[in-house]
Amino acid sequence: MSMNNRNVITTILSTFVSVGASVCVASDFTIENHGIATEVNGNEISLQFYTPSTVRVIKNSVGTKVEKQSLSVVSTPGNVKFNARQSGKYITVKSDSITVTIDTASGKISFLSPDGKKLLREGDNVSFTPVDDAGEASFKVRQDFCLDADEPIYGFGNLENGRLSQRGLKRTLMPGNIEDGIPVFVSVKGYGVYWDNYSPTTFVDDKDVSYFESEVGDCVDYYFMYGKNADGVIGEMRRLSGEVPMFPLWTYGFWQSRERYKSQDEIVEVVNKYRALGVPLDGIIQDWQYWGNNYLWNAMEFMNPEFNNAQKMVDDIHANNAKVIISIWSSFGPSTRPYKELDSKNMLFDFSTWPQSGIAEQWPPRMDYPSGVRVYDAYHPEARDIYWNHLKRLYDHDMDGWWMDSTEPDHLDFKAEDMDTKTYLGSFRKVRCAYPLLTVGGVYDHQRKESDRKRVFILTRSGFFGQQRYGCNVWTGDVASTWETLRNQIPALLNFTLTGNPNSNSDIGGFFAGAYNKSYGDNSAVKNPQFQELFVRWMQFGAFTPMMRSHGADIKREIYYFGNRGETVFDAVEDAIKLRYSLLPYIYSTSWDVSRHNSSFMRPLMMDFPKDRNGWDCGDQFMFGRNILVAPVVKANYTSEKIIDIDENTGWNRQENAGNDAVAEMDFMTPVNTDIYLPAGTSWWDFETNEIYKGGKKIVKPTTIKTLPLFVKAGSILPIGPDVQYATEKSWDDLEIRVYPGADGEFTLYEDEFDNYNYEKGSYSTIGFSWNDKTRTLTVADRQGEYQGMLSNRTFKVVVADKKSKIVNVSYNGSVTTVKL
């Protein structure tokens, strides 16, 4: 790419070009396919347009050969028309959506909006420091950026630092157990930057400069995306790295889990009890050790004698109208068939991973009996084939999905030389952060090839940029059962959303909860008001995450352990579950908006109200879909928050159990005032009371343990589903349609077969609802599309939140219908 090898036409000072042009402009830059190239201060700089709003920037030392195949980015440069011009010392390149300038004296790049507003500029430092990467010559690479002093930025993964805006962040970004650092951020100014590097990458933001620095890289490689707002940036991210496939409807119901069900009778009994109680449930999860001892770790077979008829287990669960997913890992014990096959092909790593002891039954672990468990080389396509070939034994049992644990993967007793481990794509250091992307992608791709009869559903502990394309929901790992951790989950999941990944959740109640037991293992915490209050609040928050899943160690969390119907805690938990089910038509329609229009489930206030500075750093409230404001109670109103510190290391060492004793019973129904901020620019309806408030101010709402503060934006239209025990129990033939007046509004109800991939072939329907606030008229538009089993005729029960009109039954046969209310 040296300028000496380029055809330079020095008489042309500016030109208008499109894809395929090979014209050079002046001596300072060359027009190439999809962009330009230049050389400044010993560095080659290349700009490549992927869309009119997204440009890739590549920098490398002159003479350095760069051949990079992105693992996250799956699109290619597009047919983008742009204008390139040199004026003085600046090269200016314009598309319809962004302007990029390069200072030919310093090489610094600036990005501007079409109207000339400065969005982002590079700082003074771009550096390539030679390093030895496991015997290969490479570089530590760094690029500086300059942000406005008052400019909040978001993203970077599901960091557990309790902050929404990540200004001032200093963090090495890489996958881990309880957080996944991802090198991408979004600005409130409507742009984003993805740093395309898979080695451990540090992001630093201080008063002087912001920068990315990666341990290994042949070049600086990043993408600037201008979307005008956060939704637009996320759209650009997904155009680069893959769209979001739809999950089945049943994934949005309530999920119960535990570390762990110790027999097939136990897991089936849990489903039976939920059905007997009449508490809704859609899924249950079998955690680890169904395979037997640790030498058989992740054998992908049922060799534990307590699971002696696995097919009957699956069939019994299905017969009770529930789904089951099962734990699988990225590592294998030495006595398993996958281990032996992978080992014979040198596709296993040698660094220490979980579990370290071969004896699962003893605690603390017997380290004199090492497990021999090893992580597999997910970077190798043949290794991913082998993984699926063994996983197919479980798939053939008609499993409904996969709980892919330790996809970071677990890396214990870290030694620097571990990073020299050879992988199919180079050193482990070079590709470390892409491990979850590739191991999860391997399962998704193979199952899609296997059959389209059911949609892929993967619950996984780690994520990376682009992983949204692989049908996965990422949870925040083995988080502690503390109020601080609960509060941290909200900004963590919101920032994860802003990496382009819309599907996430956390262990409801926190994973390590033993501190709330009087003594380890007696399950007393379910009667401990300190844990009861925390668990209820986490359940209420969990009802408004993309997956509602109760899970953890030390405590059995099934609803019937918390008491009986009619008792406060039981009822509060059941209320949260039933609220979730009532909103399934809204949630499923939102999932279509996510897949089709690049929307998001959990939305920080800055997404929908970017002009309201009061919402820029609001980390304890969020929009769920485009209509519902969720303000969960995330502080203890009735008990003490005092708890010892717990993390995934102390938790697994059982050091958390010196914590709190049970306290006296509490009156959880005593009202306590809760402060809530209502964003400016609209009015808000209290979902519980149907009172309306003007936005742009704080209000005080009395709450009890049963209260989850929810507010609906004026102009919203919400479909409310039937009372069901599982998601598909009843058809949606008599949905309640709630209209929240005060502004014009619209909503699209989406329906399909609720599973399989026929929707990708056009088998689905949409029904548009629009509200004219001035005339108080609701119009139900012509139905668009069709699918097998579609309701041809139905009744909508329409009600307006202000109660000025009674419920109106609207018969609908697919043709436009108007009703005045």
Enumerate the active-site residues. Answer: 405, 408, 478
Neighbouring CB atoms inside 10 A of 283's CB total 27
Angle made by CA atoms 255, 257, 260, in degrees to the nearest 5: 165
Among 95, 49, 52, 57, residue whose Cα is nearest residue 76: 49
Burial degree of 522 (CB within 10 A; 0-12, 13-18, 19+): exposed
**3-state SS, residue 304:** coil
**3-state SS, residue 268:** helix
Q: Please state, in angstroms and as integers, the Cα–Cα distance from residue 265 to each residue in 257, 286, 312, 326, following that order.
A: 14, 12, 10, 15
Residues 6+ apart with CB under 8 A from 178: 160, 476, 477, 478, 479, 647, 648
DSSP-derived secondary structure letter, 661: P
Please tell me the distance from the alpha carbon of residue 440 to that of residue 477, in angstroms, as a whole number. Answer: 16
Element (H, E) at 132: strand 118-133
Q: Say which amino acid occupies 416.
A: A
Rounded to the nearest angstrom, the gap between the alpha carbon of residue 14 and the centroid of all alpha carbons in its chain is 44
Q: How crowded is the C-beta side of 386, counted as CA atoms within 13 Å? A: 25
Please tell me the distance from the alpha carbon of residue 453 to that of residue 755, in angstroms, as a whole number. Answer: 8
Please tell me the distance from the alpha carbon of residue 44 to that of residue 41, in angstroms, as a whole number. Answer: 8
Q: Please state, in angstroms and as integers, the Cα–Cα distance from residue 188 to each residue in 112, 150, 617, 679, following that order.
A: 15, 10, 11, 16
Please tell me the distance from the alpha carbon of residue 613 to that of residue 615, in angstroms, as a whole number. Answer: 5
Among 409, 428, 375, residue whose Cα is nearest residue 177: 409
Burial degree of 596 (CB within 10 A; 0-12, 13-18, 19+): middle
- The answer to whether residues 792 and 783 touch, using CB atoms and an 8 Å cutoff, is no
Pairing verdict, β 191-195 and 220-226: antiparallel
Q: Copy the structure tokens of residue 433.
A: 């952060």
Among 616, 677, 640, 678, residue whose Cα is nearest residue 531: 640
- The answer to whether residues 500 and 667 touch, using CB atoms and an 8 Å cutoff, is no
